[in-house]
Structure 1
């Protein structure tokens, strides 16, 4: 069966965390002027579908380029969290006691709001949910901007903090954010994550595929 593309496009104007660099694409060379085409890109390391490394929030955390490449192919278990709405915490009750998986992929259905402002008001992992996932030794994927609250109005980290990031990244796990098309995936599948090979990276945009054997 062909793989499913679980990545959002890196178009100009895509949703980014408030204050992060916007995505910009502009012609650098064109067929008419130069005989070939080159596009100049400007974006942040957390743009579009991307992978957070522990170094994102943990001063002594591993950078993405130090993670063994085999880590990015994961046995994934999808969690149906589509009942949770705007700004609602996802509780530990959604978690299995023994996932038998490398990654838990949180399907909220919030990718349906990409790229509207409402996308920032997504459900998120309650701190105790993230801590439990870390105890289960699983990486996390989510079809939302953030595993912590974002909010289109109040996006001040000092207000709500980033406890889910600290729980997961502090345990050495990876977080894949801004996934899409999870509704097409079965409960069990293989998650292939291919981040850009940025040096000393806190995160990197990634092409993410879902495979079903």
Structure 2
């Protein structure tokens, strides 16, 4: 009888989740991975290569890419180089719940290609007009930059003067206890920063705040949604391509 009751509970739980999810539509926030996508100039490029096998009738391709190709997540090891530092967490070590939860879309811009530095005041002014970002939120920065995405060479425009967070803005979000911060640009830091000046990365990642870059379709996402993204289980990696989605009730119109 106990086993029967347990199976019945499992069935009803699965059906309840199925029915609940049927009330939501899925917004895909990830770019297609294809040859010619924009990348940071020093980063590996993406290639999908046909791989015919003489004795196998099945079709295969070989993937050549970086762990930060396309829409991806940065994990702490990306900016914590010391192997003895306990904060040096790799992709296979992050909890799956790190990219699951309530998402708050912060709409900013549009910006000219002048490497606009999104400051703490930009975030707090948005909160004053809307509502406060809370602990464990996932912050999606919609800077209206994503329309510049294109395959190279047209996609070079995506890599010129993009907006990003200042160190102070990153500290503000970090101290609020957010889980992750995503942006519709090639980097969370603005385009005029490099090396030790990549303060958004340095403030967020060592503190365990995950960073997502190259998000898209943020115009379709309401201010609050349920966000889900899963990285590949890459042992020793400093990031991973992700398939990021927002779940939005079907009764809510597009914004």
Same fold, TM-score > 0.5, yes or no: yes
1:111 to 121, 128, 146: 146
1:58 to 44, 56, 80: 80
1:38 to 60, 78, 81: 60
Deviation at 1:194, TM superposition (A): 1.1
For the residues of structure 2 that align with 1:170 and 1:144, how far apart are their CA atoms? 21
1:149 to 190, 204, 214: 190
Counterpart of 1:3 in 2: which secondary structure? strand
Q: Match for residue 88 of structure 1?
A: 116
1:188 to 217, 224, 234: 224
* Alignment root-mean-square deviation, CA: 1.9
Calculate the TM-score normalised by the size of structure 2: 0.76
Cα distance change, pair 81–33 in 1 and its aligned pair in 2 (3 A): farther
1:124 to 153, 160, 164: 164
Deviation at 1:33, TM superposition (A): 8.3
1:168-201 Cα offsets, whole Å, 9 max, x none, are 0121110011000000000001111111110122
Instruction: Report 1:7-18 matches (<5 A).
Output: 7-18=30-41
For the residues of structure 2 that align with 1:77 and 1:175, how far apart are their CA atoms? 14
Cα contact 1:17–1:150 (8 A) shared by 2: no
Cα contact 2:98–2:210 (8 A) shared by 1: no
For the residues of structure 1 that align with 2:40 and 2:237, how far apart are their CA atoms? 18
1:67 to 73, 77, 94: 94
Deviation at 1:84, TM superposition (A): 2.9
Deviation at 1:94, TM superposition (A): 2.8
Counterpart of 2:32 in 1: which secondary structure? coil
Gaps of 5+ in 2: 1-23, 250-255
Q: Match for residue 238 of structure 2?
A: 202
Extract structure 1 runs of 4+ deviating beyond 6 A.
Answer: none
Cα contact 1:79–1:94 (8 A) shared by 2: no
For the residues of structure 2 that align with 1:21 and 1:33, how far apart are their CA atoms? 32
Gaps of 5+ in 1: none
Q: Match for residue 177 of structure 1?
A: 213
Q: Match for residue 5 of structure 2?
A: none
Deviation at 1:15, TM superposition (A): 0.7
Q: Match for residue 168 of structure 1?
A: 204
Cα contact 1:84–1:90 (8 A) shared by 2: no
Count matched residues: 207
1:127-175 Cα offsets, whole Å, 9 max, x none, are 1111111111111010111011336xxx7x34x7211100101211100
Cα distance change, pair 147–26 in 1 and its aligned pair in 2 (3 A): same
